[in-house]
Amino acid sequence: MNNSLPDVSFDLKEWRERFIRAVLRLAALLGVVMIAVSFPTAPSADRILFLTLYVVLLGAAILPAPYTLRAYLLLAVTATIGANAILGWGPWADGATFLLATVVLASFLLDNRTDIVALAGSIIFIVAVGYLEQTGAYRLNEIAPATVLADWGGYIADFAIIGTILASAATMLKTAFAQITGQTKEAFNTLTMERHALEDKIQERTDELESHMFQLRAATSAARAIAETQEIAGLLQKAVDLISERFEYYHVGAYILDDQRRTAYLQASSSETSKPLVGQAFRIEPDRKDPLSQVMESRQMVVATDLDKTHFHRDANFPLTRSRMAIPLVVRGALIGVIDIHSEQPRAFGPEDVEILQTLADLTAISFDNVRLLEETRSLLSQLAAGSAYQTQTIWSKFTSRQKNAYLYTPAGVRPVFSREPGPKERDGLYVPIVLQGQAIGSIRLKRKGLSTQWSERERDFVDKIANQTALALENSRLVDEAQKSALRNQMIASFSTHVRETLDVDSVVRSAATELRKVFDLKEAEIMIGIAQPDAPAISARDSNP
């Protein structure tokens, strides 16, 4: 083992020297590409300017020069490119990018707050150019798009905000970096003293971890595959296959218990010899030797080996078994099944195997329950959606049968339309359905003025949102209408009850009831008769009619 310690000292000045050399060389290399791209279309003045700046940049990159001179030359070149872009194109070119790059480079390369000066100078320059351009004292390139005051205002505001954020972030980064460097040196000294002690412990643990690495990898891949399965039958089959394959057990079976927990159904098997047994029921009888019975009673893992002849239970279906492990599948305290593992080795299950396999069994049980709940939830949601859609369709079919079904806006005003479906010609334009609970309860049809019939995706999305809000508003209106009708019925019932109860005389009660029924329902005639139909039996009756 190499005991030499790396040098953690950090020289900011040296780092800046390397940084500016790398930036200058990269800029000199990319500058050729930029000049080649922009040179054919650039004006003569811009060509001279670009060539001059590139010569300066190339000289700073190649020729020996003090660090400060190189830094200021790099900043000057970057700022000049940005200023030239703004003078030519205003807010429509990438001048702000170069000016922001100047601010960031100044923050990293220099410590005398040059970044603040660069930011302030850039803002003043942009404001001055914008003011002169808007007042007519200066004009941009002839091919540059026209600008308004709002263009310059937004451009300046964005530049000021982004520049301030970048400058502040760079300053905070440098401060934090300096603090971290100091703390790192202190921590390194402390860690150096503890390194040798830790190396001894690490070496001891390395030998132990290497022996378990294969099992951990197998458990991780198996757990991921089990958790990704979204189908109950496939989940159990995948679980037993993965445990058998990754841990090299010749048979793994998964049993699910019935509600009484007295019968176990083999749901999945990894061995070909036991495939025909899948789906069969096995009665769980009290037996201290049978691992399945022991798991049922104790809800604890059971491990058995044929070396213990007294407590080992040999299964006739698996005669090669020499070690056996039964792991309970428990979800929220309830036992739902058992995983039965058989091995041909006499001592196949160590303490580490027990822990890993128990974890896989717990994950299998939780995944099984989650998939079951997910399937039940999907079924319930599907039923609810179907019921809601049917109820919505029924209610609105009844509601629209007694309402005006459409309104049309024209230059002459809004008028009702009584046709239920638009004709072929009326479908010209944009047609958007009004959907509620998955059911179309109406539609919106729009036609443009003039000859243009095209609708953009943004316009279609906007109309879709309006249709959704219209559907909600219509449903709310219908609910309010139903609530008002219900309140009116309750009020009528209360009024009827009050009038009827005003007297204790039977004749008066019957007469009042007939009168109120006629008034409430605006009837031509209302008759109430009290009495049992018998020969010669007197009856009490009242009739009220509307002349």
- Shared domain for 46 and 164, answered yes or no, is yes
Mean pLDDT of all residues in 398-418:
67
Is residue 148 a part of any domain in this protein? yes
What span, in angstroms and rounded, lies between the C-alpha atoms of 374 and 238?
Answer: 18
- Shared domain for 124 and 165, answered yes or no, is yes
Last residue of a domain, one of 438, 453, 485: 485
- Shared domain for 480 and 509, answered yes or no, is no
pLDDT of residue 547: 57
Is residue 35 a part of any domain in this protein? yes
- Shared domain for 22 and 60, answered yes or no, is yes
**Given a cut of 60, is residue 518 above it in pLDDT?**
yes
- Give the side-chain half-sphere CA count within 13 A for 486: 6
- Shared domain for 416 and 508, answered yes or no, is no
pTM of the predicted protein model: 0.40
| CA neighbor of 82 nearest in space, from 113, 61, 55, 53 | 53
- Shared domain for 140 and 61, answered yes or no, is yes
Of the pLDDT bands very low, low, confident and very high (cuts 50, 70, 90), residue 425 is very low
Last residue of a domain, one of 460, 485, 510: 485
Helix (H, G, I), strand (E, B) or coil at 163: helix
pLDDT of residue 61: 79
**Average pLDDT of the chain to the nearest whole number:** 78
Of the pLDDT bands very low, low, confident and very high (cuts 50, 70, 90), residue 275 is confident
Is residue 393 a part of any domain in this protein? no
Structure-token pair, residue 113: 């707050």
Of the pLDDT bands very low, low, confident and very high (cuts 50, 70, 90), residue 79 is confident
How many other C-beta atoms lie within 10 A of the C-beta of residue 468?
14
Is residue 363 a part of any domain in this protein? yes
Give residue 325's domain range: 237-373
Mean pLDDT of all residues in 512-523:
71
Is residue 56 a part of any domain in this protein? yes
What span, in angstroms and rounded, lies between the C-alpha atoms of 99 and 523?
Answer: 87
**Given a cut of 50, is residue 43 above it in pLDDT?**
yes
Q: Which letter does DSSP use for residue 314 in this model?
A: -
Mean pLDDT of all residues in 207-223:
70
CATH label of the domain that carries residue 281: 3.30.450.40
**What is the share, in percent, of the chain residues with pLDDT greater than 70?**
82
Query: 50-59, 85-94, 209-218, 469-478: which range is least confident on average?
Result: 209-218
**Given a cut of 70, is residue 152 above it in pLDDT?**
yes
- Shared domain for 466 and 509, answered yes or no, is no
Strand partners, 305: 323
| Higher pLDDT among residues 411 and 361, named by residue | 361
- Shared domain for 148 and 181, answered yes or no, is yes
Mean pLDDT of all residues in 276-290:
75
- Shared domain for 287 and 367, answered yes or no, is yes
Alpha helices in 229-249 (DSSP H): 232-247
- Shared domain for 325 and 258, answered yes or no, is yes
- How many domains, in total, are found in the chain? 4
Last residue of a domain, one of 190, 211, 227: 190
Is residue 97 a part of any domain in this protein? yes
pLDDT in tens, 320-342: 888 888 888 888 888 888 888 88
Mean pLDDT of all residues in 398-406:
64
What span, in angstroms and rounded, lies between the C-alpha atoms of 391 and 502?
Answer: 42
pLDDT of residue 542: 56
**Given a cut of 50, is residue 479 above it in pLDDT?**
yes
Of the pLDDT bands very low, low, confident and very high (cuts 50, 70, 90), residue 1 is very low
Mean pLDDT of all residues in 101-123:
85
Identity of the amino acid at 186: E
pLDDT of residue 427: 55
- Shared domain for 62 and 130, answered yes or no, is yes
Structure-token pair, residue 217: 């990898």
Is residue 206 a part of any domain in this protein? no
Of the pLDDT bands very low, low, confident and very high (cuts 50, 70, 90), residue 499 is low
Is residue 302 a part of any domain in this protein? yes
- Shared domain for 358 and 442, answered yes or no, is no
Distance of CA 34 to the CA centre of its chain: 41
Mean pLDDT of all residues in 431-445:
78
Annotate 397-427 with b (16+ C-beta within 10 A) or e (fewer): eeebeeeeebeeeeeeeeeeeeeeeeeeeee
Q: Residue 95: is it exposed, middle or buried by C-beta count within 10 angstroms (0-12/13-18/19+)?
A: buried
Q: Which letter does DSSP use for residue 455 in this model?
A: -
Mean pLDDT of all residues in 455-471:
84
